[in-house]
């Protein structure tokens, strides 16, 4: 068995919870190592996030420390199996000075394009990346496939042992996808990738209650397409691939600080 390591990382991505046959309800987390001198990607899976004590329930852009180890079941170079009991929240990076603290970790890892991330995957197995899309064309959605009978049975089994305060995991009935061009796309080419960020699922749940079904979808489109991709934002996509289909990437989250008017380097 591979040895445990102590990692510190800046959390940049929390995907919406999924139901695993082996692990039950769990979350995939990605972030940037803060203890390696040079920023480096790391993926943590599975994280039983909603089962964690509240003091351990980290937010995006928290810096956390934990024990983790490599695993033979996921050979992607950034992937670690976390010891959830060891998670400690150390600090939080705020948005002051146009997200200066966050940019200092994200920008050194920025790839030229989505096509460049895919090329790196083919050459070295890279499975995480961040880049600026050249042009965001649309945010679309389609009906999601309902949970399988086996997945629902797993959740029902787990609910017997959950605290009454833990809310059941609600299915999001839609798959949201970005359609965009990266810097290396030809004139008529584009990428279309599913958005897996927890935020978009939670926004749907919250806004459906507030605005109704159609109103929630309009609000999501406004937030993720009109606002985040506006000319006032320096939009980047965090992307990651799927273990079973390493050439298939999804949008794991968005990084959208204010667009800097100065072209002078930050660092």
Tell me the pLDDT tens digit for each residue of 66-109: 999 999 899 999 999 999 999 999 999 999 999 999 999 999 99
3-state secondary structure of 173: coil
What does the pLDDT read at residue 147?
A: 56
What does the pLDDT read at residue 2?
A: 82
Could you say which DSSP state residue 226 is in? Answer: I
What does the pLDDT read at residue 168?
A: 67
3-state secondary structure of 205: helix
Higher-scoring residue by pLDDT: 232, 170:
232
Q: Is the pLDDT of residue 20 over 90?
A: no
Could you say which DSSP state residue 171 is in? Answer: P
d(CA 7, CA 235): 28
Percent of the chain with pLDDT over 70: 88
3-state secondary structure of 241: strand
Instruction: Provide CB contacts within 8 A for 217, sequence distance 6+.
Output: 141, 174, 204
What does the pLDDT read at residue 24?
A: 80
- Phi (first) and psi of residue 160, to 5 degrees: -65, -25
What does the pLDDT read at residue 176?
A: 98
d(CA 46, CA 50): 12
Mean pLDDT of 5-17: 97
Looking at the structure, do residues 74 and 127 belong to the same domain, yes or no? Answer: no
Residue-wise pLDDT tens digits, 170-181: 889 999 999 999
Q: Is the pLDDT of residue 201 over 80?
A: yes
3-state secondary structure of 237: strand
Number of folded domains in the chain?
Answer: 2
Looking at the structure, do residues 121 and 59 belong to the same domain, yes or no? Answer: no
Looking at the structure, do residues 129 and 45 belong to the same domain, yes or no? Answer: no
Instruction: Provide CB contacts within 8 A for 203, sequence distance 6+.
Output: 216, 219, 220, 223
For the chain, give the mean pLDDT: 91
Range of the domain at 146: 98-163+171-255
Looking at the structure, do residues 24 and 146 belong to the same domain, yes or no? Answer: no
Looking at the structure, do residues 225 and 102 belong to the same domain, yes or no? Answer: yes
Cis amide bond preceding 46, omega within 30: yes
Q: Which of 64, 93, 122 is the last residue of a domain?
A: 93
Looking at the structure, do residues 31 and 154 belong to the same domain, yes or no? Answer: no
Domain membership of residue 264 (yes or no) is no
Q: Which helix (H) or strand (E) holds 214?
A: helix 213-221
Distance from chain centroid for Cα 251: 7
Percent of the chain with pLDDT over 90: 81
What does the pLDDT read at residue 167?
A: 59
pTM: 0.91
Looking at the structure, do residues 113 and 89 belong to the same domain, yes or no? Answer: no
Looking at the structure, do residues 120 and 89 belong to the same domain, yes or no? Answer: no
d(CA 16, CA 28): 8
Looking at the structure, do residues 85 and 103 belong to the same domain, yes or no? Answer: no
Looking at the structure, do residues 80 and 191 belong to the same domain, yes or no? Answer: no
3-state secondary structure of 266: coil
């Amino acid at each position: 068995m591979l040895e445990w390591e102590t990692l510190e990382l800046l959390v940049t991505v929390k995907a919406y919870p999924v139901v695993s046959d082996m692990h039950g309800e769990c979350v995939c987390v990605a972030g940037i190592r803060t203890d390696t001198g040079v920023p480096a990607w790391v993926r943590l899976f599975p994280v039983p996030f909603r089962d964690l004590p509240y003091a351990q329930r980290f937010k995006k852009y928290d810096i956390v420390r934990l024990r983790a180890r490599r695993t033979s079941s996921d050979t992607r170079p950034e992937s670690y199996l976390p010891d959830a009991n060891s998670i400690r929240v150390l600090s939080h990076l705020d948005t002051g000075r146009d997200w200066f603290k966050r940019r200092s970790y994200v920008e050194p890892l920025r790839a030229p394009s989505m096509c460049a991330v895919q090329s790196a995957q083919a050459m070295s197995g890279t499975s995480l990346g961040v880049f600026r899309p050249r042009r965001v064309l649309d945010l679309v959605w389609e009906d999601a496939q309902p949970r399988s009978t086996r997945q629902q049975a797993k959740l029902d089994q787990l609910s017997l042992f959950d605290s009454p305060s833990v809310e059941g995991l609600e299915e999001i009935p839609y798959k949201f996808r970005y359609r965009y061009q990266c810097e290396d796309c030809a004139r008529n080419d584009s990428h279309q990738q599913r958005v897996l960020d927890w935020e978009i699922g939670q926004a749907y749940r919250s806004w459906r209650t507030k605005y109704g079904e159609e109103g929630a979808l309009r609000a999501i489109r406004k937030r993720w397409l009109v606002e985040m991709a506006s000319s006032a934002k320096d939009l980047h996509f965090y992307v990651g691939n799927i273990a079973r289909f390493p050439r298939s990437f999804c949008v794991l989250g968005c990084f959208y600080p204010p667009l800097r008017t100065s072209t002078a380097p930050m660092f």
